[in-house]
Amino acid sequence: MTKATKSRSTTRARPATVDDYIARFEPEVQSLLREVRRTVRQAAPRAREVISYSMPALKQNGILVFFAAFKNHIGFYPPIRGDAKLEKAAARYAGEKGNLRFPFAEPIPYALIASLTKLRARQDAAKAVSRPRARRATPSRARR
CB–CB of 82/51 below 8 Å?
Answer: no
Task: State the average pLDDT for the chain.
Answer: 87
pLDDT for 7 equals: 40
pLDDT for 13 equals: 82
User: The CATH number of the domain where 67 resides is what?
Assistant: 3.90.1150.200
Which structural domain range is residue 54 located in? 18-128
Render pLDDT for 25-56 as a digit per residue (tens, 0 to 9): 999 999 999 999 999 999 999 999 999 999 99
Q: Is residue 117 part of a domain?
A: yes
Q: Is residue 107 part of a domain?
A: yes
Q: Is residue 86 part of a domain?
A: yes
pLDDT for 79 equals: 86
Q: Is residue 10 part of a domain?
A: no
CB–CB of 120/80 below 8 Å?
Answer: yes
Mean pLDDT value across residues 48-77: 96
Total domains, the chain: 1
Q: Is residue 71 part of a domain?
A: yes
Q: Is residue 3 part of a domain?
A: no
CA distances from 66 to 31, 134, 139 (A): 17, 26, 38
Q: Is residue 120 part of a domain?
A: yes
Q: Which of 27-41, 79-93, 102-116, 127-141 has the lowest mean pLDDT?
A: 127-141
Nearest to 32 by CA among 119, 112, 102: 102
Say whether pLDDT at 107 is over 50: yes
pLDDT for 80 equals: 86
Render pLDDT for 73-98 as a digit per residue (tens, 0 to 9): 999 999 889 999 999 999 999 998 87
pLDDT for 6 equals: 46
Q: Is residue 31 part of a domain?
A: yes
